[in-house]
Amino acid sequence: MAASNVVRYLFFSFNLLFFVGGSITLGLSVHARNNKLDYQITDDNTLPAVNLLIVISAVTLIFGFLGCCGAIRNNRCLLAVFFFTGLFLMFLMMLAVGILGALSSTVTAQEVVTESLQQLLPLSQQPKTLIRAAL
């Protein structure tokens, strides 16, 4: 019986971390959305990502709370139906968002990377004084 209590409190602690993490992420993303000018957020570039972050963190907060309640009360229905199904659906949703984000790369990000790489010229194209100092 002591092992089941240890597992229950470990499960509670794990879900409490999800709850706290969801709360912090939700608070920061709402703060970023309300202070768009401070974070250089425009409607075109990152506002949909901030809105998605608000939704995902709110759902994470809810599932963390349900997991904590289910772990403390040993309610199998709450754990099985809401928590595990919800986490699985969230995993699929985050996977889909990640794939869509990877497929729809923006031109501006590619331009920034290309510009940064062009500034890193090979050593042979640097001035001769710099080449002597490097050797």
Note whether residue 29 is domain-resident.
yes
Note whether residue 120 is domain-resident.
no
What average pLDDT does this structure show over 22-40? 85
80 vs 44: CA distance, rounded Å: 40
Note whether residue 113 is domain-resident.
no
CA–CA distance from 5 to each of 2, 19, 37, 81, 98 (Å)? Answer: 5, 21, 49, 22, 37
Note whether residue 134 is domain-resident.
no
- Would you say residue 27 has pLDDT above 90? yes
> How many domains does the chain fold into?
1
Note whether residue 69 is domain-resident.
yes
Position 91 confidence tier, pLDDT thresholds 50, 70, 90:
confident
21 vs 46: CA distance, rounded Å: 21
Note whether residue 126 is domain-resident.
no
Q: Comparing 112 with 28, which gets the higher pLDDT?
A: 28
Note whether residue 86 is domain-resident.
yes
- Which residue matches tokens 């506002």? 47
Domain range enclosing 90: 2-105
